Structure 1
Amino acid sequence: MELLNFPDAFKVKIVQKLNRFVVLVEHNGQRMLAHNTNTGRLKELLTPQREAFCIPKKGGKTDCKLIAVKEKTLESFVLIETNLQMKAFEEAQRKGLINWLAPQRWNLVRKNALLGENSYIDYLFEEIETKKKLYLEVKSAALRSPDGNFGMYPDCSSLRGQKHLKEIINNPDQAGVLFICALKGVKGFKPHIEGDPQIYQLLKEAKKVGVPIKAISLYFDPEKKAVILENPDLEVVI
Protein backbone atom coordinates (compact mmCIF):
# COMPACT_ATOMS: atom_id res chain seq x y z
CA MET A 1 0.00 0.00 0.00
CA GLU A 2 1.42 3.37 -1.05
CA LEU A 3 1.44 5.88 1.79
CA LEU A 4 3.52 8.80 0.51
CA ASN A 5 4.67 9.83 -2.98
CA PHE A 6 7.68 11.91 -3.98
CA PRO A 7 7.60 12.63 -7.71
CA ASP A 8 10.46 15.13 -7.31
CA ALA A 9 12.82 12.61 -5.66
CA PHE A 10 16.12 12.24 -7.50
CA LYS A 11 18.90 9.67 -7.40
CA VAL A 12 22.31 10.54 -5.94
CA LYS A 13 25.49 8.79 -4.87
CA ILE A 14 26.89 9.12 -1.39
CA VAL A 15 30.31 10.81 -1.29
CA GLN A 16 30.78 10.89 2.48
CA LYS A 17 29.04 11.60 5.75
CA LEU A 18 30.33 14.97 6.93
CA ASN A 19 28.69 15.03 10.35
CA ARG A 20 25.62 13.84 12.20
CA PHE A 21 23.24 15.89 10.07
CA VAL A 22 24.99 16.48 6.73
CA VAL A 23 25.95 14.05 3.98
CA LEU A 24 27.89 15.03 0.86
CA VAL A 25 26.19 13.56 -2.22
CA GLU A 26 26.68 13.77 -5.98
CA HIS A 27 23.95 14.26 -8.59
CA ASN A 28 24.76 14.43 -12.31
CA GLY A 29 28.35 15.33 -11.54
CA GLN A 30 27.40 18.08 -9.10
CA ARG A 31 28.16 17.77 -5.40
CA MET A 32 25.45 18.77 -2.96
CA LEU A 33 24.96 18.93 0.80
CA ALA A 34 22.10 16.70 1.93
CA HIS A 35 20.33 17.03 5.27
CA ASN A 36 20.14 13.76 7.23
CA THR A 37 17.44 13.62 9.92
CA ASN A 38 18.36 10.16 11.21
CA THR A 39 20.43 10.34 14.40
CA GLY A 40 21.72 6.77 14.12
CA ARG A 41 25.24 6.08 12.91
CA LEU A 42 24.00 4.36 9.73
CA LYS A 43 27.55 3.16 9.08
CA GLU A 44 26.25 0.22 7.03
CA LEU A 45 24.39 2.61 4.70
CA LEU A 46 26.20 5.94 4.41
CA THR A 47 29.25 4.63 2.57
CA PRO A 48 30.96 6.13 -0.51
CA GLN A 49 29.37 5.39 -3.91
CA ARG A 50 26.17 4.03 -2.36
CA GLU A 51 23.03 4.89 -4.33
CA ALA A 52 20.47 7.03 -2.52
CA PHE A 53 17.49 9.31 -3.08
CA CYS A 54 17.03 12.93 -2.08
CA ILE A 55 14.20 15.43 -2.33
CA PRO A 56 14.57 19.20 -2.86
CA LYS A 57 14.43 21.56 0.10
CA LYS A 58 14.28 25.32 0.46
CA GLY A 59 16.51 27.40 2.65
CA GLY A 60 19.05 26.44 5.26
CA LYS A 61 22.66 25.37 4.83
CA THR A 62 21.90 22.21 2.87
CA ASP A 63 20.71 21.76 -0.71
CA CYS A 64 18.40 18.77 -0.37
CA LYS A 65 17.10 16.17 2.06
CA LEU A 66 18.38 12.58 2.11
CA ILE A 67 15.41 10.21 2.34
CA ALA A 68 16.46 6.70 1.28
CA VAL A 69 19.64 4.67 0.80
CA LYS A 70 20.22 1.44 -1.09
CA GLU A 71 21.26 -1.62 0.88
CA LYS A 72 24.69 -3.05 0.09
CA THR A 73 23.74 -6.53 -1.10
CA LEU A 74 20.07 -5.96 -1.94
CA GLU A 75 18.15 -3.93 -4.50
CA SER A 76 15.92 -2.44 -1.80
CA PHE A 77 16.12 1.08 -0.39
CA VAL A 78 15.93 1.88 3.32
CA LEU A 79 13.73 4.85 4.24
CA ILE A 80 16.09 6.61 6.64
CA GLU A 81 14.27 9.96 6.87
CA THR A 82 12.65 9.78 10.30
CA ASN A 83 10.09 12.55 9.73
CA LEU A 84 8.81 10.69 6.67
CA GLN A 85 8.65 7.47 8.68
CA MET A 86 6.38 9.27 11.13
CA LYS A 87 4.25 10.79 8.37
CA ALA A 88 3.88 7.37 6.76
CA PHE A 89 2.79 5.89 10.09
CA GLU A 90 0.24 8.68 10.57
CA GLU A 91 -1.15 8.09 7.09
CA ALA A 92 -1.40 4.34 7.66
CA GLN A 93 -3.22 4.89 10.96
CA ARG A 94 -5.57 7.47 9.44
CA LYS A 95 -6.46 5.10 6.59
CA GLY A 96 -7.22 2.25 8.99
CA LEU A 97 -4.35 0.08 7.77
CA ILE A 98 -3.07 -0.65 11.29
CA ASN A 99 -5.69 -2.89 12.89
CA TRP A 100 -4.39 -2.60 16.44
CA LEU A 101 -4.65 1.21 16.20
CA ALA A 102 -7.77 1.50 14.04
CA PRO A 103 -9.17 5.06 13.75
CA GLN A 104 -12.65 3.73 14.54
CA ARG A 105 -11.30 2.88 17.99
CA TRP A 106 -8.39 5.26 18.59
CA ASN A 107 -8.30 9.03 18.14
CA LEU A 108 -5.03 10.96 17.78
CA VAL A 109 -5.16 13.66 20.44
CA ARG A 110 -1.78 15.33 19.98
CA LYS A 111 1.85 14.91 19.07
CA ASN A 112 4.77 15.43 21.46
CA ALA A 113 2.70 14.76 24.56
CA LEU A 114 4.19 15.18 28.03
CA LEU A 115 4.42 11.97 30.06
CA GLY A 116 5.76 12.25 33.59
CA GLU A 117 7.74 15.32 34.56
CA ASN A 118 9.91 15.93 31.49
CA SER A 119 9.51 13.21 28.86
CA TYR A 120 7.81 14.12 25.61
CA ILE A 121 6.34 11.10 23.83
CA ASP A 122 5.71 11.17 20.08
CA TYR A 123 1.94 10.58 20.13
CA LEU A 124 -1.01 10.60 22.49
CA PHE A 125 -3.96 8.50 21.34
CA GLU A 126 -7.26 8.13 23.18
CA GLU A 127 -9.62 5.19 22.94
CA ILE A 128 -12.91 6.64 21.74
CA GLU A 129 -15.21 4.43 23.80
CA THR A 130 -13.34 4.22 27.11
CA LYS A 131 -11.22 7.42 26.97
CA LYS A 132 -8.20 5.28 27.82
CA LYS A 133 -4.94 7.03 26.94
CA LEU A 134 -2.07 5.55 24.92
CA TYR A 135 1.21 7.44 24.87
CA LEU A 136 3.04 5.93 21.91
CA GLU A 137 6.77 6.43 21.42
CA VAL A 138 8.07 5.67 17.92
CA LYS A 139 11.60 4.49 17.18
CA SER A 140 13.29 4.02 13.81
CA ALA A 141 14.74 0.57 13.08
CA ALA A 142 16.87 1.04 9.95
CA LEU A 143 19.43 -1.69 10.69
CA ARG A 144 18.99 -5.14 9.16
CA SER A 145 19.99 -8.21 11.18
CA PRO A 146 22.85 -10.37 9.81
CA ASP A 147 20.40 -13.07 8.73
CA GLY A 148 18.35 -10.45 6.88
CA ASN A 149 15.09 -11.28 8.62
CA PHE A 150 14.78 -8.57 11.27
CA GLY A 151 14.82 -4.83 11.58
CA MET A 152 16.83 -3.74 14.62
CA TYR A 153 17.15 -0.75 16.95
CA PRO A 154 19.35 0.97 17.98
CA ASP A 155 22.54 0.99 15.90
CA CYS A 156 24.32 3.00 18.62
CA SER A 157 23.87 4.03 22.24
CA SER A 158 20.88 6.31 22.82
CA LEU A 159 20.46 8.11 26.15
CA ARG A 160 17.27 9.69 24.82
CA GLY A 161 15.89 6.26 23.97
CA GLN A 162 16.77 5.00 27.44
CA LYS A 163 15.00 7.96 29.04
CA HIS A 164 11.82 7.38 27.04
CA LEU A 165 11.74 3.68 27.85
CA LYS A 166 12.20 4.31 31.57
CA GLU A 167 9.25 6.71 31.57
CA ILE A 168 7.13 4.23 29.62
CA ILE A 169 8.00 1.44 32.05
CA ASN A 170 6.75 3.67 34.85
CA ASN A 171 3.41 3.99 33.02
CA PRO A 172 2.77 0.51 31.59
CA ASP A 173 -1.02 0.89 31.57
CA GLN A 174 -1.05 3.96 29.34
CA ALA A 175 2.16 3.89 27.27
CA GLY A 176 3.59 1.79 24.45
CA VAL A 177 6.41 1.59 21.92
CA LEU A 178 6.27 1.28 18.14
CA PHE A 179 9.28 0.34 16.04
CA ILE A 180 9.20 1.36 12.39
CA CYS A 181 11.32 -1.14 10.47
CA ALA A 182 12.18 0.89 7.39
CA LEU A 183 13.40 -2.17 5.47
CA LYS A 184 11.84 -4.29 2.75
CA GLY A 185 11.16 -7.97 3.39
CA VAL A 186 11.84 -8.23 7.12
CA LYS A 187 9.85 -10.77 9.11
CA GLY A 188 10.06 -9.09 12.49
CA PHE A 189 11.75 -6.68 14.88
CA LYS A 190 14.31 -7.39 17.56
CA PRO A 191 16.61 -5.19 19.66
CA HIS A 192 20.20 -4.69 18.57
CA ILE A 193 21.89 -5.73 21.79
CA GLU A 194 25.36 -4.59 20.72
CA GLY A 195 24.01 -1.16 19.79
CA ASP A 196 22.85 -0.39 23.33
CA PRO A 197 22.72 -3.20 25.93
CA GLN A 198 20.83 -0.90 28.32
CA ILE A 199 17.99 -0.43 25.85
CA TYR A 200 17.80 -4.20 25.41
CA GLN A 201 17.41 -4.64 29.17
CA LEU A 202 14.81 -1.87 29.33
CA LEU A 203 12.80 -3.48 26.54
CA LYS A 204 12.85 -6.80 28.40
CA GLU A 205 11.62 -5.02 31.51
CA ALA A 206 8.94 -3.19 29.52
CA LYS A 207 7.67 -6.47 28.10
CA LYS A 208 7.66 -8.00 31.59
CA VAL A 209 5.47 -5.24 33.06
CA GLY A 210 3.02 -5.41 30.16
CA VAL A 211 3.98 -2.48 27.97
CA PRO A 212 2.61 -3.04 24.44
CA ILE A 213 5.55 -3.25 22.03
CA LYS A 214 4.56 -3.19 18.36
CA ALA A 215 6.33 -2.97 15.00
CA ILE A 216 5.45 -2.20 11.40
CA SER A 217 7.53 -2.39 8.22
CA LEU A 218 7.72 0.01 5.31
CA TYR A 219 10.26 0.95 2.66
CA PHE A 220 11.02 3.32 -0.22
CA ASP A 221 10.18 2.05 -3.70
CA PRO A 222 12.64 3.64 -6.19
CA GLU A 223 10.46 2.96 -9.24
CA LYS A 224 7.28 4.45 -7.80
CA LYS A 225 9.18 7.02 -5.73
CA ALA A 226 6.83 6.14 -2.92
CA VAL A 227 6.81 4.89 0.65
CA ILE A 228 5.19 1.46 0.80
CA LEU A 229 3.57 -0.12 3.86
CA GLU A 230 4.58 -3.79 3.81
CA ASN A 231 3.43 -5.20 7.15
CA PRO A 232 1.26 -3.29 9.67
CA ASP A 233 1.82 -5.79 12.49
CA LEU A 234 5.31 -7.30 12.51
CA GLU A 235 6.42 -9.96 14.96
CA VAL A 236 8.39 -8.53 17.90
CA VAL A 237 11.11 -10.75 19.36
CA ILE A 238 12.54 -9.67 22.71
Structure 2
Amino acid sequence: MKYDLPLIEGTLIKRYKRFLADIRLSDGTEVTVHCPNTGSMKRCAEPGSRVWISDSWYPKPNPKRKYRYTWEWVEVDGKYRVCINTARPNQLIGEALESRTVAGLEHYESLQREPKVEDGRLDFCQMLPDGSRCWIEVKSVTLLEKDNGLGCFPDAVTDRGRKHLRRLQALKQEGDRAVLVFCVPHEGIREVTVADHIDKKYGETLREVMSSGVEVLAIAVNFEDDDSGFEAAGVLPVIV
Protein backbone atom coordinates (compact mmCIF):
# COMPACT_ATOMS: atom_id res chain seq x y z
CA MET A 1 0.00 0.00 0.00
CA LYS A 2 1.40 3.37 -1.05
CA TYR A 3 0.41 6.83 0.16
CA ASP A 4 -0.11 9.54 -2.45
CA LEU A 5 2.92 11.34 -1.05
CA PRO A 6 5.36 10.63 1.80
CA LEU A 7 3.96 11.15 5.28
CA ILE A 8 4.69 14.28 7.30
CA GLU A 9 6.66 13.88 10.52
CA GLY A 10 5.81 15.52 13.81
CA THR A 11 5.70 15.07 17.58
CA LEU A 12 2.61 14.01 19.51
CA ILE A 13 1.46 16.56 22.07
CA LYS A 14 -1.62 14.63 23.20
CA ARG A 15 -4.50 12.46 22.04
CA TYR A 16 -7.97 13.32 23.36
CA LYS A 17 -11.69 12.76 22.76
CA ARG A 18 -10.64 9.49 21.05
CA PHE A 19 -10.72 10.97 17.56
CA LEU A 20 -8.43 13.99 17.97
CA ALA A 21 -4.73 14.59 18.55
CA ASP A 22 -2.54 17.67 18.75
CA ILE A 23 0.76 17.40 16.91
CA ARG A 24 3.76 19.69 16.61
CA LEU A 25 5.33 19.75 13.15
CA SER A 26 9.07 20.12 12.52
CA ASP A 27 8.72 23.87 11.88
CA GLY A 28 7.05 24.34 15.28
CA THR A 29 3.51 24.65 13.95
CA GLU A 30 0.87 22.91 16.06
CA VAL A 31 -2.05 21.21 14.29
CA THR A 32 -5.10 19.26 15.41
CA VAL A 33 -5.48 16.05 13.42
CA HIS A 34 -8.04 13.29 13.05
CA CYS A 35 -7.18 10.12 15.00
CA PRO A 36 -8.76 7.16 13.12
CA ASN A 37 -8.62 4.70 16.01
CA THR A 38 -11.42 3.93 18.47
CA GLY A 39 -9.33 1.65 20.69
CA SER A 40 -7.31 2.43 23.77
CA MET A 41 -4.10 2.76 21.71
CA LYS A 42 -2.25 1.44 24.74
CA ARG A 43 1.47 2.32 24.49
CA CYS A 44 0.83 3.99 21.12
CA ALA A 45 -0.24 7.45 22.28
CA GLU A 46 2.55 8.62 24.57
CA PRO A 47 3.10 12.41 24.49
CA GLY A 48 6.44 13.25 22.91
CA SER A 49 6.36 10.30 20.51
CA ARG A 50 7.46 10.72 16.93
CA VAL A 51 4.43 10.51 14.62
CA TRP A 52 3.57 10.64 10.93
CA ILE A 53 0.43 12.19 9.40
CA SER A 54 -1.15 12.24 5.95
CA ASP A 55 -2.49 15.33 4.17
CA SER A 56 -6.04 15.14 2.77
CA TRP A 57 -5.45 18.35 0.82
CA TYR A 58 -3.19 16.60 -1.68
CA PRO A 59 -3.37 17.14 -4.62
CA LYS A 60 -5.96 19.88 -3.90
CA PRO A 61 -7.81 21.33 -0.87
CA ASN A 62 -10.68 19.23 0.47
CA PRO A 63 -13.31 21.55 2.03
CA LYS A 64 -15.37 18.54 3.20
CA ARG A 65 -12.69 17.65 5.74
CA LYS A 66 -12.97 19.39 9.11
CA TYR A 67 -9.42 18.33 9.95
CA ARG A 68 -6.92 18.47 7.11
CA TYR A 69 -4.49 15.90 8.52
CA THR A 70 -4.88 12.27 9.59
CA TRP A 71 -2.65 10.51 12.11
CA GLU A 72 -1.18 7.41 10.43
CA TRP A 73 1.89 6.11 12.28
CA VAL A 74 3.62 6.45 15.64
CA GLU A 75 7.07 5.44 16.85
CA VAL A 76 6.95 3.22 19.95
CA ASP A 77 9.89 2.78 22.34
CA GLY A 78 11.88 5.15 20.15
CA LYS A 79 12.47 2.48 17.47
CA TYR A 80 9.34 0.72 16.18
CA ARG A 81 6.98 2.23 13.62
CA VAL A 82 3.32 1.34 14.19
CA CYS A 83 0.30 2.13 12.01
CA ILE A 84 -2.56 3.27 14.26
CA ASN A 85 -5.01 4.09 11.43
CA THR A 86 -7.39 1.13 11.72
CA ALA A 87 -8.57 1.52 8.11
CA ARG A 88 -5.12 0.68 6.72
CA PRO A 89 -4.89 -3.01 7.75
CA ASN A 90 -8.07 -3.76 5.77
CA GLN A 91 -6.65 -1.97 2.74
CA LEU A 92 -3.35 -3.79 3.13
CA ILE A 93 -4.88 -7.25 3.51
CA GLY A 94 -7.31 -6.52 0.68
CA GLU A 95 -4.39 -5.74 -1.64
CA ALA A 96 -2.58 -8.90 -0.55
CA LEU A 97 -5.67 -11.04 -1.14
CA GLU A 98 -6.17 -9.52 -4.59
CA SER A 99 -2.54 -10.18 -5.52
CA ARG A 100 -2.79 -13.69 -4.03
CA THR A 101 0.20 -13.28 -1.75
CA VAL A 102 -1.34 -14.48 1.54
CA ALA A 103 -0.15 -18.04 2.18
CA GLY A 104 -3.09 -20.42 2.38
CA LEU A 105 -5.52 -17.94 0.83
CA GLU A 106 -3.92 -17.55 -2.61
CA HIS A 107 -6.04 -20.05 -4.60
CA TYR A 108 -9.38 -18.23 -4.49
CA GLU A 109 -10.52 -16.62 -7.75
CA SER A 110 -12.79 -13.77 -6.65
CA LEU A 111 -12.95 -11.38 -3.72
CA GLN A 112 -15.87 -9.48 -2.21
CA ARG A 113 -15.26 -6.61 0.19
CA GLU A 114 -17.49 -5.98 3.21
CA PRO A 115 -19.92 -8.81 2.43
CA LYS A 116 -23.24 -8.81 4.26
CA VAL A 117 -23.88 -11.52 6.83
CA GLU A 118 -26.89 -12.20 9.01
CA ASP A 119 -26.11 -9.61 11.66
CA GLY A 120 -23.93 -7.10 9.83
CA ARG A 121 -20.83 -7.34 7.68
CA LEU A 122 -17.43 -9.00 7.69
CA ASP A 123 -14.35 -7.67 5.92
CA PHE A 124 -13.94 -10.07 2.99
CA CYS A 125 -15.37 -13.13 1.28
CA GLN A 126 -13.27 -15.15 -1.15
CA MET A 127 -14.91 -17.52 -3.61
CA LEU A 128 -14.16 -20.38 -6.00
CA PRO A 129 -16.13 -21.25 -9.16
CA ASP A 130 -17.68 -24.26 -7.42
CA GLY A 131 -19.31 -21.96 -4.86
CA SER A 132 -16.85 -22.58 -2.03
CA ARG A 133 -16.48 -19.54 0.19
CA CYS A 134 -13.92 -18.28 2.66
CA TRP A 135 -15.05 -15.56 5.07
CA ILE A 136 -12.37 -13.27 6.54
CA GLU A 137 -12.36 -10.77 9.39
CA VAL A 138 -9.29 -8.55 9.88
CA LYS A 139 -8.06 -7.20 13.22
CA SER A 140 -5.09 -4.87 13.76
CA VAL A 141 -2.50 -5.81 16.41
CA THR A 142 -0.59 -2.79 17.76
CA LEU A 143 -0.01 -3.61 21.43
CA LEU A 144 3.53 -4.63 22.45
CA GLU A 145 3.53 -4.37 26.23
CA LYS A 146 7.10 -5.58 26.71
CA ASP A 147 9.99 -5.44 24.26
CA ASN A 148 9.88 -9.20 23.78
CA GLY A 149 8.32 -9.45 20.33
CA LEU A 150 4.97 -10.72 21.66
CA GLY A 151 2.03 -8.65 20.43
CA CYS A 152 -1.37 -8.79 22.13
CA PHE A 153 -4.95 -8.44 20.92
CA PRO A 154 -7.21 -6.77 21.90
CA ASP A 155 -5.92 -3.60 23.58
CA ALA A 156 -9.34 -2.95 25.16
CA VAL A 157 -12.52 -4.91 25.91
CA THR A 158 -14.28 -5.59 22.60
CA ASP A 159 -17.81 -6.94 22.53
CA ARG A 160 -17.86 -6.23 18.79
CA GLY A 161 -14.77 -8.39 18.34
CA ARG A 162 -16.48 -11.32 20.09
CA LYS A 163 -19.52 -10.83 17.85
CA HIS A 164 -17.28 -11.21 14.80
CA LEU A 165 -15.81 -14.42 16.22
CA ARG A 166 -19.28 -15.87 16.74
CA ARG A 167 -20.26 -14.95 13.19
CA LEU A 168 -17.16 -16.68 11.81
CA GLN A 169 -17.98 -19.74 13.92
CA ALA A 170 -21.55 -19.85 12.59
CA LEU A 171 -20.35 -19.62 8.98
CA LYS A 172 -17.87 -22.42 9.59
CA GLN A 173 -20.63 -24.57 11.04
CA GLU A 174 -22.68 -23.92 7.88
CA GLY A 175 -19.89 -25.50 5.83
CA ASP A 176 -17.85 -22.48 4.72
CA ARG A 177 -14.26 -21.68 5.58
CA ALA A 178 -13.78 -18.93 8.19
CA VAL A 179 -10.53 -17.10 8.95
CA LEU A 180 -9.57 -14.45 11.48
CA VAL A 181 -6.59 -12.46 10.18
CA PHE A 182 -4.44 -10.53 12.64
CA CYS A 183 -2.70 -7.79 10.63
CA VAL A 184 0.42 -6.69 12.53
CA PRO A 185 1.51 -3.16 11.50
CA HIS A 186 4.11 -2.97 14.29
CA GLU A 187 7.83 -3.38 13.59
CA GLY A 188 8.52 -4.83 17.04
CA ILE A 189 5.99 -7.67 17.00
CA ARG A 190 7.21 -11.11 15.85
CA GLU A 191 4.39 -13.29 17.23
CA VAL A 192 0.82 -12.73 18.39
CA THR A 193 -1.21 -13.86 21.39
CA VAL A 194 -4.58 -13.07 22.93
CA ALA A 195 -4.71 -10.44 25.69
CA ASP A 196 -6.57 -12.43 28.34
CA HIS A 197 -5.53 -9.90 30.98
CA ILE A 198 -7.39 -7.18 29.06
CA ASP A 199 -10.45 -9.07 27.79
CA LYS A 200 -10.80 -12.55 29.28
CA LYS A 201 -14.09 -13.19 27.48
CA TYR A 202 -12.49 -12.49 24.10
CA GLY A 203 -9.74 -14.99 24.84
CA GLU A 204 -12.24 -17.64 25.89
CA THR A 205 -14.32 -17.05 22.76
CA LEU A 206 -11.31 -17.11 20.46
CA ARG A 207 -10.18 -20.49 21.78
CA GLU A 208 -13.70 -21.87 21.50
CA VAL A 209 -14.17 -20.83 17.87
CA MET A 210 -10.71 -22.13 16.97
CA SER A 211 -11.63 -25.50 18.43
CA SER A 212 -14.71 -25.52 16.17
CA GLY A 213 -12.62 -24.95 13.04
CA VAL A 214 -12.18 -21.18 12.66
CA GLU A 215 -8.63 -20.52 11.43
CA VAL A 216 -6.36 -17.76 12.72
CA LEU A 217 -3.52 -16.17 10.74
CA ALA A 218 -1.14 -13.35 11.68
CA ILE A 219 0.38 -11.30 8.85
CA ALA A 220 3.51 -9.19 9.34
CA VAL A 221 3.92 -5.75 7.77
CA ASN A 222 7.04 -4.19 6.23
CA PHE A 223 7.31 -0.40 6.38
CA GLU A 224 9.01 1.50 3.54
CA ASP A 225 12.24 3.26 4.57
CA ASP A 226 11.08 6.50 2.93
CA ASP A 227 7.78 6.48 4.90
CA SER A 228 5.79 6.18 1.65
CA GLY A 229 3.84 3.04 2.52
CA PHE A 230 3.99 -0.59 3.63
CA GLU A 231 3.16 -4.10 2.49
CA ALA A 232 2.14 -7.52 3.81
CA ALA A 233 5.27 -9.51 4.54
CA GLY A 234 4.51 -13.10 5.50
CA VAL A 235 3.00 -15.11 8.32
CA LEU A 236 3.79 -14.76 12.03
CA PRO A 237 3.20 -17.38 14.76
CA VAL A 238 -0.05 -17.18 16.73
CA ILE A 239 0.13 -18.42 20.34
CA VAL A 240 -3.16 -18.96 22.14
TM-score above 0.5: yes
CA RMSD of the aligned region, Å?
1.8
Change (3 A) 1:4 1:151: farther
What is the CA–CA distance in structure 2 between the aligned matches of 1:22 and 1:219, rounded to whole Å? 27
Amino acid of the structure 2 residue aligned with 1:167: R
For 1:1-238, list aligned pairs within 5 A: 3-27=1-25, 28-57=27-56, 58=62, 59-73=64-78, 75-102=79-106, 105-116=107-118, 118-128=119-129, 130-172=130-172, 173-174=175-176, 175-230=178-233, 232-238=234-240
- Greater alpha carbon shift after TM alignment, 46-55 vs 85-94: 85-94
Change (3 A) 1:219 1:8: same
What is the CA–CA distance in structure 2 between the aligned matches of 1:107 and 1:195, rounded to whole Å? 38
Contact kept? 1:45, 1:72, Cα under 8 Å: no
- Which stretches in structure 2 are left out of the alignment for 5+ residues? 57-61
What is the CA–CA distance in structure 1 between the aligned matches of 2:197 and 2:83, rounded to whole Å? 22
Displacement of 1:114: 1.9
Q: Deviations over 1:8-67 (max 9, x none)?
A: 310011111121111111112111121121221113111111101000013322120111
Percent of matched pairs sharing the same residue: 20
- Which stretches in structure 1 are left out of the alignment for 5+ residues? none
Tell me the residue number matched to 2:59.
none
Change (3 A) 1:83 1:108: farther
Amino acid of the structure 2 residue aligned with 1:149: G
Displacement of 1:156: 0.3
Amino acid of the structure 1 residue aligned with 2:48: Q
Which is richer in strand? 1
Q: Deviations over 1:102-125 (max 9, x none)?
A: 1xx213442221222x13111111
Amino acid of the structure 2 residue aligned with 1:184: E
What is the CA–CA distance in structure 1 between the aligned matches of 2:158 and 2:213, rounded to whole Å? 23
Amino acid of the structure 2 residue aligned with 1:159: D
Contact kept? 1:22, 1:35, Cα under 8 Å: yes
Contact kept? 1:119, 1:167, Cα under 8 Å: no
